[in-house]
Amino acid sequence: MADTVKLEIGGKASEYPVLSGTVGPDVIDIRKLYGATGAFTYDPGFTSTASCQSALTYIDGDQGVLLHRGYPIDQLAEQSSFMEVSYLLLNGELPSKKELDDFTYTISRHTMLHEQLATFYRGFRRDAHPMAIMCGVVGALSAFYHDSTDINDPKQRMIASHRLIAKMPTIAAMAYKYSVGQPFLYPKNDLSYTANFLRMTFGVPAEEYEPDPVIVSAMDKIFILHADHEQNASTSTVRLAGSSGANPFACIAAGIACLWGPAHGGANEAALNMLREIGTPDRIPEYIARAKNKDDPFRLMGFGHRVYKNFDPRAKVLGKAATEVLDKLGINDPVLDTARELEQIALKDQYFIDKKLYPNVDFYSGVILSAIGFPTTMFTVLFALARTVGWVAQWNEMISDPEQKIGRPRQLYNGPAQRDYVPVSQR
């Protein structure tokens, strides 16, 4: 593409630089557009808008490519660990053994919560959705960790980042325990990040809990696959909240709230509920018809993506892992058969081909999470747990970016033109 583009509006010509990244689409730098033309761009949903420069994650939606700091997601999922991917996202390079050990040690020593926070849970109904609890408790962290809320101090930003990554499993496990009426378990520093989370979730004080290595490995892979994903809705929410100078705990709570939506992270819960509602493969055509019916708000949950117009590489890894985990656990869940059949039928259906709708990260994850023993209400909590490292890495990148300022979009106004007030006696 040329290194500038010309625009003529209202008889006035103006020119804008074209910027290129390492790889992927160029961008037209329109920062001077309003000053030069008096016009805004219009892009609801930001389908053609780059909000920032970032070195964290690259997605090629047509090729089904997802890179974290240049490393392909399938290689990371198969060969790395969530702690190592967290270090990579935060620091930009894969760690040496010592760097990884030091990072893991630091994270494990921040896994406990201030004891007062445990009382927060008692204020919720036992049947509160765990995501409601996550929004509340994570937002409340800023009331406890005042020594890591100065966003201009890189040391405080890193401590806050470590605290958020470390405490999310504890907070998530406590949300689950509260919902099932079991006592909270404290983290154990001699367990890995993911094994610690599984013990706090499924262990009980009455007996020792040995996390199954098959489940630990599957859970860790699921965390890796959900760690970061460019400028998705919840990450953009975290960046926008952070652009005002809000503290990192409040920003992550905002990201959790956005992720909860069924069009975003809430889709994993909705997808498994949908697969269970479909029940058997013979009912799939009825649901495919509903998904294609413009008058029916129903959508195939776990299908489609704003960026992936081919396959979501995470769905590929999860589809394979679903079979492996259920086989290893000796579970025969008919929902997996329904999911596979639905995928095959949808991928041959012209509507889905034309609209480039493929399974996304949320389509198979619920099958695995259900096999591990999580209720569907915990699925998005697990997404938020894993995505926290991406959110904090993106937040740190934004704070350090000299080009970033408070986010303040404009609008195309379509309300009434100015008019005078009419007293009620004259209306």
- Show the site string, 186-225: x = touches ligand SDX by CB under 6 A, - = not: ----------------------------------------
The residue range among 116-124, 171-179, 246-254, 262-270 that interacts with ligand SDX, by the rule CB under 6 A, is 262-270
Q: Is 263 in the site for ligand SDX (CB under 6 A)?
A: yes
- Which residues belong to the active site? 305, 362
Rounded to whole angstroms, the Cα distance separating 292 from 90 reads: 41
* Residue 310: partners with Cβ closer than 8 Å, 6 or more residues away: 61, 62, 63, 64, 356, 358
Rounded least distance, CB 382 to ligand SDX, Å: 13
Residue 29 tokens read as 């730098």
The residue range among 88-96, 136-144, 302-310, 410-418 that interacts with ligand SDX, by the rule CB under 6 A, is 302-310
CB-based contact 282:288 (threshold 8 Å): no
The residue (of 125 and 356) whose beta carbon lies closer to ligand SDX is: 356
DSSP 307-362: S-SS--HHHHHHHHHHHHHHHHHT---HHHHHHHHHHHHHHHSHHHHHTT--B-HH
Determine how β-strand 4-9 pairs with β-strand 27-28.
Answer: unpaired
Q: Is 299 in the site for ligand SDX (CB under 6 A)?
A: yes
Rounded to whole angstroms, the Cα distance separating 407 from 330 reads: 50
- Of positions 301, 315, 318, 367, contacts ligand SDX by CB under 6 A: 301
The residue (of 130 and 304) whose beta carbon lies closer to ligand SDX is: 304
Rounded least distance, CB 57 to ligand SDX, Å: 9
Element (H, E) at 216: helix 213-225
Element (H, E) at 145: none
The residue range among 21-29, 98-106, 197-205, 301-309 that interacts with ligand SDX, by the rule CB under 6 A, is 301-309
Residue 413 tokens read as 């106004």
Q: Residues touching ligand SDX: how many (CB under 6 A)?
A: 22
For residue 224, how many other CB atoms are within 10 A of its CB?
A: 26
Rounded least distance, CB 336 to ligand SDX, Å: 18
Rounded least distance, CB 404 to ligand SDX, Å: 20
Interaction with ligand SDX in 40-99: which residues (CB under 6 A)?
Answer: 45
How many residues are present in the chain?
427
The residue (of 230 and 333) whose beta carbon lies closer to ligand SDX is: 230
Rounded least distance, CB 56 to ligand SDX, Å: 13
Rounded least distance, CB 312 to ligand SDX, Å: 7
Q: Is 129 in the site for ligand SDX (CB under 6 A)?
A: no
- Of positions 229, 318, 370, 372, contacts ligand SDX by CB under 6 A: 229
Q: Is 300 in the site for ligand SDX (CB under 6 A)?
A: yes
Rounded to whole angstroms, the Cα distance separating 203 from 206 reads: 9
The residue (of 188 and 299) whose beta carbon lies closer to ligand SDX is: 299
DSSP 99-136: HHHHHHHHHHTT-SPPHHHHHHHTTS-TTS-HHHHHHH
Residue nearest to ligand SDX (CB): 304
CB-based contact 235:391 (threshold 8 Å): yes
- Nearest CA to 305 out of 361, 346, 347, 378 is that of 361
Residue tagged 């270090």 (tokens): 87
The residue range among 181-189, 242-250, 261-269, 374-382 that interacts with ligand SDX, by the rule CB under 6 A, is 261-269
Rounded to whole angstroms, the Cα distance separating 87 from 104 reads: 9
- Of positions 68, 69, 199, 305, contacts ligand SDX by CB under 6 A: 305
Interaction with ligand SDX in 306-325: which residues (CB under 6 A)?
Answer: 306-307
Rounded to whole angstroms, the Cα distance separating 73 from 79 reads: 10
- Of positions 54, 108, 111, 232, contacts ligand SDX by CB under 6 A: 232
- Show the site string, 342-361: x = touches ligand SDX by CB under 6 A, - = not: -------------x-x--xx
Q: Is 109 in the site for ligand SDX (CB under 6 A)?
A: no
Q: Which residues pair with 18 in a beta bridge?
A: 28
Residue tagged 């154990």 (tokens): 188
DSSP 268-287: HHHHHHHHHHH-SGGGHHHH
DSSP 303: B
SS3 of residue 27 by DSSP: strand
Task: By CB under 6 A, name the binding residues for ligand SDX.
Answer: 45, 229, 232, 263-265, 267, 291, 299-307, 355, 357, 360-362
